[in-house]
Structure 1
Amino acid sequence: MDDLGSQEISVLKIIRDNPFAGQQEIAAALGLARSTVAAHVSQLVQKGYVLGRGYLLPEPKRAVLIGGAVFDRKYRAREPVVMETSNPVDSTRSFGGVARNVAENLALLGTPTSFVSLVGEDETGASILAHLRERGVDVSQVVTTRERQTAEYAAILDPKGDLVMGIADMGIFDLLRPDHIDRAWAHLASASLVFADCNLPADTLAYLVSRRQGARFQLAVDAVSTHKVGRLPEDLTGIDLLFMNIDEANSRLGRSGHTSLDDAADAALRLAGQGAGNVVVTMGARGMAVAAESNVRTFAAVAANAIDMTGAGDAMIAGALHGLLAEQDVYEAARLGSLLGALTTETSASVHPELSQHFLQAHAHRLAHQEG
């Protein structure tokens, strides 16, 4: 509590002892004016020590995820795709979106999790929220709008499962403005960790990075795609942990090179040089590089019998965040993320249906001999 003054500490102690104490009661106990107590309470809310009305105290080690909630459709061709005509396919439908997937993974691992996003006032949006509630995710900060429909993504795959074409309707996220950050600030400020994906508009992402200065939570960000990586601010200072794949990193840095883990290590160090505290650059089946405090280490990918890569990157992020919340260093946390990513490729679901803390621990032996 180094960021609190002596009077703020005294006010917080009374609130912790009696969350139902009124401001006048606190003022009388401390010999302060009620207006002074009100100002201190406001600062305690802004700094995340209380959640506002009712003086609710935040849960320990809580995560807040901000970004995309998407309905995914996949169409896998039974035969080689022929353009400009009808092709027989097998179809699947699932819930997606980077932040949404990360939120579900974290909740299944036992982390108290809140989600901040926008969905349309439609059946699809209602289904996404109902599913997250069933998983134990707090969706009280998700806004429902009539302006746009819930985001959707459709992928056409060849018989091997490789992407032929992807189409996305993500216009609803253009409505995620800085005032949504303000609206949910008490939830963010009281969290241990906040994660945002680059489905947020550039000015909203910049506002989040700027406002978190002085806040107690760690901020993690994922680039999402080579197109959306451009939404990141030029100065990455304020981002404690940045996730990118090698293509996104190359796009950001204006460089080439994607054949070895040395390329990922170089990219990670360059991104750290732009202000990011820690950086994870992934290369799929080749592995990843992790940069922290001007040091970089590379790790081979965890061996897996892959069925479907969908959701693997999001699972990797969730595993890494889970490790950080368990007070692992960034290298060990990233390794845990790579394990969860590998496990997710072994199922056709975007989030592993058997996921739990026990399930993850039961497969921890697969991390042996991973360092590159």
Structure 2
Amino acid sequence: AASEHFMDVSAVDTLEGEATGTFMEVVNPNGDILFGLSDMEIYHCMTPEWLTKHLTLLKRAKYLVADLNLPKETLELLIALKMKHQIPLVLITVSVPKMVNMPASLDGVDLLIVKHDETEAFLNLAVKSEEDAEQAAIKWLSYGAHSVIVTKNDDTLVYVADNGETIRYKNPHDITNRYKWGANEAICAGLIYARQQGKSISQSLMAGFANGYYTTQSLSLVRSNLSTLQLEKDIEELAKVEKEYRV
């Protein structure tokens, strides 16, 4: 009911006896996460059969965005759908435990967005620096994705594409005391928004970086002042000092 003012929710399914996926973090006064609680059972209902019921809608999409909450076989069907109809597809990781849902092949995935700890667990390598993140991204490309972004908290972002293009951003400012809730989601949202608007990959990365940075200035999961106009202003301001962030 709250979201229908901002998006079309007419295709959202309500399942009797099931609850919306929920994740809660318990955080101490220093912003450290003590533990998390989740109820993710409903995602098991997002089967290939469920996805097939929505094929007509999906085939009309300008962009497909999915994360690893979905079962592996559902994601594999979505990739097949993308390849058949040539719809841009972004795949976003969720957590280390959910890496079990990573498709065996990423052929057809236009962009994979993955965090450093998930990369370390899945690829069995350390990601401590921007150089490590770049090498990890290159290894991810071997799974078939056209491009990869490896993030670390909200301060490091490394992009590598199969055409050899590499872009690295690092926030030079002290961010250690800021709460990180929502930063990765904000980065993904800003980046995908910019790509939909036809912006270049460097502009899109800056959009994601800006949205992630300013989200961490707020204690809300989604900052209250976020709008298309505000995001464009944020991108413009950060672009002025982009050289400080390129490494």
TM-score normalized by the length of structure 2: 0.91
Q: Match for 2:219 among 325, 348, 351?
A: 348
Give 3-state SS (helix, strand or coil) of 2:83's partner.
coil
The answer as to 2:108 corresponding to 1:233 is no
Within 5 A, what are the aligned runs for 1:12-161? Answer: 130-134=1-5, 136-161=6-31
Within 5 A, what are the aligned runs for 1:1-372? Answer: 130-134=1-5, 136-255=6-125, 257-292=126-161, 293-301=163-171, 303=173, 307-363=178-234, 364-367=236-239, 368=241, 369=243, 370-372=245-247
Distance in 2 between residues matched to 1:229 and 1:198, nearest whole Å: 7
Q: Quick one: which amino acid aligns to residue 131 of structure 2?
A: D
Unaligned runs of 5+ in 2: none
Give 3-state SS (helix, strand or coil) of 1:145's partner.
coil
Contact 2:154–2:212 at 8 Å: present in 1 too? no
How far did 1:150 drift? 2.4
Q: Quick one: which amino acid aligns to residue 131 of structure 1?
A: A
Distance in 2 between residues matched to 1:299 and 1:154, nearest whole Å: 29
Contact 1:307–1:347 at 8 Å: present in 2 too? no
Distance change in 2, residues 1:311/1:286 (3 Å)? closer
How far did 1:275 drift? 0.5
Give 3-state SS (helix, strand or coil) of 1:217's partner.
coil
Contact 1:284–1:301 at 8 Å: present in 2 too? no
How far did 1:238 drift? 1.1
Q: Quick one: which amino acid aligns to residue 366 of structure 1?
A: L
Distance in 1 between residues matched to 2:104 and 2:186, nearest whole Å: 27
Give 3-state SS (helix, strand or coil) of 1:290's partner.
strand
How far did 1:300 drift? 1.2
Contact 2:154–2:184 at 8 Å: present in 1 too? no
Contact 1:302–1:338 at 8 Å: present in 2 too? no
Distance change in 2, residues 1:297/1:160 (3 Å)? same
Unaligned runs of 5+ in 1: 1-129
Distance change in 2, residues 1:304/1:348 (3 Å)? farther
Q: Deviations over 1:19-76 (max 9, x none)?
A: xxxxxxxxxxxxxxxxxxxxxxxxxxxxxxxxxxxxxxxxxxxxxxxxxxxxxxxxxx
Give 3-state SS (helix, strand or coil) of 1:180's partner.
helix
Distance change in 2, residues 1:336/1:304 (3 Å)? farther
Percent identity, aligned pairs only?
26
Larger RCO (alpha carbons 8 Å, 6+ apart): 1
